Amino acid sequence: MSAAGDAIEAWRPLTTGAPGERAILDELAGRYAEAHRRYHGVGHIGALARAFAWVAEAGPGWLEPREVQLAILFHDAIYEPLRADNEARSAQLARARLSGWSGVDVERVAAMIEATAAHGLADTEGDPDLAHFLDADTAILGAPPSVYDRYAEGVRQEFAAVPESLYVAGRRRFLSAQLERERLYHSASFGDRHEHAARANLRRELASLGQA
């Protein structure tokens, strides 16, 4: 079994007994092993799984853990770097594959996935599960500098088809927009852990692109 297959297999308890469980896991393993994924692959899903465990065990906990786990598993299932509708397509895939599952609010899972299209604009008021899910997805911004740099390089490789000047301009806009936000994280749990380091990483990358 591939590394992606091994990692996705760890999610088997989540799908045991559900309609099409084997086919779903095989499909997701194949998707997350796609050659063009240099950041948005199985390693990213593993990082969210660890963040999920931290919230569950040492943080505030989850209200609906299974739905959050399914959102994690499907949220980047479809990822084509040059398309702007990956989140919507991933949400639609989740709707199709989870149809018929008992005890799961499929529309809730899909809505959480769709919210990743615009993290900073998502309304998380009164919705701690969504807040922590979105924050887990961007926790990489507050990673140690060497880990952050691997993330940034991975994203650049995913956009290898984009000319350097255009990529730098777009990346600078993204970094500047993040730094202009009052808070990078929706929850105090992640903000207390990552806000300072994330801003330092973003400023450092922005400065490096200014010298490119």
Residue 41's CB is within 10 A of a number of other CB atoms, namely 22
**pLDDT at site 3:** 59
Q: What is the pLDDT of residues 59-110, one digit of tens each?
A: 999 999 999 999 999 999 999 999 999 999 999 999 999 998 999 999 999 9
Task: Please give the span between the terminal C-alpha atoms of the chain, in angstroms, as a whole number.
Answer: 41
**pLDDT at site 6:** 67
Nearest to 110 by CA among 139, 55, 73: 73
- Give backbone dihedrals phi and psi of 123, rounded to 5 degrees, phi first: -90, 105
Residue type, 147: V
pTM for the model stands at 0.94
**pLDDT at site 91:** 99
CA 139/CA 59 separation, integer angstroms: 14
Binned at pLDDT 50, 70 and 90, residue 7 comes out as low
CA 148/CA 202 separation, integer angstroms: 9
Q: What is the dihedral of CA 153, 159, 164, 168, to 10 degrees?
A: -70
Confirm if 134 and 115 have CB atoms less than 8 A apart.
yes
For residue 9, pLDDT over 80 is answered with no
Query: Across the chain, what does the average pLDDT equal?
Result: 94
Burial of residue 20 (number of CB atoms within 10 Å: 0-12, 13-18, 19+) = middle
**pLDDT at site 212:** 47
CA 104/CA 77 separation, integer angstroms: 19
